[in-house]
Structure 1
Amino acid sequence: MSTWYYAGVERQPLGPLSTDELKQYFRSERIALDTLVWRDGMMQWRPLADLVQQLDLLEVPRPAPFDAAPTFASGPDLPPMPASAPSPPAATLPDTDDTRPALPPAPEPAHEAPTPAGGRAVFNLGSDPSPTPVYERPEIIQRMAVTASSESTVARNPYLAARAPLQAEPSFVADQDVVYAGFWKRVAATIIDGFILSLVVGLCGELFGMILSDLAGGGELATAITTSLCTIALNALYFAWFHSTFNYATPGKMAIGIKVVRSHGEPISFLRALARFFATILSTLTFCIGYLMAAFTARKQSLHDVICDTVVVDKWAYTTEPERQRTELGAVAIVVLALYGLILVAGVVLIFFVIGLAATAQRFG
């Protein structure tokens, strides 16, 4: 059985409801056709009007008899009904003293089919008009009304070609509640990005540094300098390119479900993202106090966010579906932080073990 949710007056999700309960809410007018509903498996929230036929919310009127005009709640403009033929006038008698009542008019002779001659079939090409024209038949009127008043049915037809709107939706929606990414979400994203950078960017930077140093004919010092410069350049391109494209987030931020935008929700440009990367140097030079600011500021901004007018928010912030934002850490962030904590503890234990082992060897040596 499907589990449904519907949007309240303040656009908060309410539920869960079964399909029968959802129908009962509609019949009791607690929800209307313009109420947004959602269930597991749907890509996005949709008005209840789009699911009328799927849920059988509105009963289709039965066709009326042929001698009665059908009535519908709404439908296209229909042609007027043809006027019925006037009845023939009653026969009148001449002015006489005869007081006998007037005789009724003689009935018209019925059209009879000609008698076949010689065993051959004779077809009559002419016939009386149908008592109900085709365009006035109830089933035809009903079909026209459903076709004209239900464009959503056409949109849901799986056999029609896909159609796209002429204008794309805006990239952000302002003036809404925003969930800012907290300190620990940003730490988890930094751990993931640091792992990627150490494996890919570190190796590429060292390779490019050695190549450039060999081309320039330098020694070990030149190799170290070119390797450091290439690593910094690749790190800057990594953060600037990801923050200004795709989902405005690096792979680490995408895994956690956060993104970087301007203070009012607009996407950041490549140059601003590049400046934000170099502004992180100031956050590092302040003994990482610039990073710790994200745990105490109102909008969870670090020092480099304040400098570059950026914020880190939930991935559904400033979109058409702000109700999907989440304030909790999430499973990915919890797992990453737990693993990183275990690695740190294991590293500290290993260091003390090595120090103790060296001290023991020196004592007995």
Structure 2
Amino acid sequence: MYCPSCGTNNKDQFKYCQGCGHNLQDQTVSAAPNNVISQSYGRDYSQNYIQGHGQMGVHPGYGTGYALEYAGFLRRLAALAVDGILLSILFSILNWILGSSLANFIFFFAGAAYFILLESSPQQGTIGKKLMRIKVTDINGQQISTTQAAIRYFSKIISAVILYIGFIMAAFTKQKQGLHDIIAKTLVIKGE
């Protein structure tokens, strides 16, 4: 249910708006108000705009009425390439110093820590994602937890095992989600 006062999308069972505290039981609004305005950009995020560009979210930096713009497949692929290059350099150094068997063992945990910790941090993305100006969020556009980041990371194994179709799905799904995003209930959106 959308708040008639501020436009925040609240769950139907809420009595008061989570954005502004307005009593939601006084009126019922089934769609977003026609004039929900982003506090930072001044764009009109009416329901028609949102249907073509993303979903309405509540973003700490932008306030209510912020439209989530999903990151495209090629931008995500470029970010993965940058991260792959960085991790390859790390692996080469570890392999040179420690030898291949110990380097493989350490690299597995270092790679997992890289993605999990950076995607669940306030930065909301790896170095590659920051360079491509994208970030990982939950379904509402908020920072993900470490648990959610770990589920997302290890779900990438499933995305890869099925001939990388889980990754390619990001080019074709409505919210540009790969299989691992759907499993972890995350989005990759355009960021600052």
TM-score, with length taken from structure 1: 0.35
Q: Does 1:295 align with 2:184?
A: no
Of all paired residues, the percent bearing the same amino acid is 32
Please, which of 274, 281, 286 is the counterpart of residue 162 of structure 2? 286
Deviations 1:166-195 (A, max 9, x none): xxx946745432110010110111111111
1:199 aligns to 2:75 (yes or no) = no
Distance in structure 1 (CA, Å) of the matches to 2:97 and 2:138? 34
CA contact (8 A) 1:174 1:265 kept: no
Q: 1:270 to 1:10 in 2, by over 3 A?
A: closer
Gap change, CA 1:230 and 1:315, over 3 Å in 2: same
Give the whole-Å Cα distance in 1 for the aligned partners of 2:165 and 2:76.
14
Q: Tell me if 1:256 matches 2:132.
A: yes
Q: Among 107, 115, 126, which residue is 1:231 paired with? A: 107
Q: Which residue, 67, 75, 78 being the options, matches 1:188?
A: 78
TM-fit CA distance, 1:296? 0.5
Distance 1:205 1:309, change over 3 A: farther
Structure 1 residues 267 and 296: CA distance shift in structure 2, 3 A: same
Q: CA deviation at 1:279?
A: 1.0
Q: 5+ residue gaps in structure 1?
A: 1-8, 13-35, 37-43, 47-168, 211-222, 317-365
Offset, 1:45 = 7.1
- Which of 142, 150, 161 does residue 266 from structure 1 map onto? 142
Number of residue pairs the alignment of both structures matches? 142
CA contact (8 A) 2:122 2:143 kept: no
- 2:69 corresponds to: 179
Query: 1:192 is matched by which residue type in structure 2?
Result: V
Where do residues 137-148 of structure 1 align in structure 2 (5 Å cutoff)? Answer: none
Q: Which has the higher contact order (CA 8 A, sep 6+)?
A: 2
Task: Select which of 183, 187, 191 maps to 1:307.
Answer: 183
TM-superposed deviation, 1:269: 1.4
| CA shift for structure 1 position 258 | 0.5
- Per residue, is there more strand in 1 or in 2? 2
Instruction: Structure 2: state its 5+ residue gaps.
Output: 1-34, 43-58
Structure 1 residues 1-365: aligned runs within 5 Å? 11=37, 170=60, 173=63, 175-200=65-90, 202-206=91-95, 210=99, 224=101, 226-316=102-192
Distance 1:207 1:246 in 2: 33
Indicate the structure (1 or 2) with the bigger Cα radius of gyration.
Answer: 1
How big is each residue's C-alpha offset from its partner over 1:15-53, in whole Å with a ceiling of 9 and x where there is no partner? xxxxxxxxxxxxxxxxxxxxx8xxxxxxx779xxxxxxx
User: Does the CA contact (< 8 Å) of 2:37 and 2:65 recur in 1?
Assistant: no
Looking at structure 1, the residues matched to 93 and 151 of structure 2 have their Cα atoms a distance apart, in angstroms, of 23
Cα pair 1:206 1:231 within 8 Å, conserved = no
State the 1:233 CA deviation.
0.6
Query: For the Cα contact (< 8 Å) 2:76–2:129, is it kept in 1?
Result: yes
RMSD value over aligned CA atoms?
2.7
Normalization by structure 2: what TM-score?
0.65
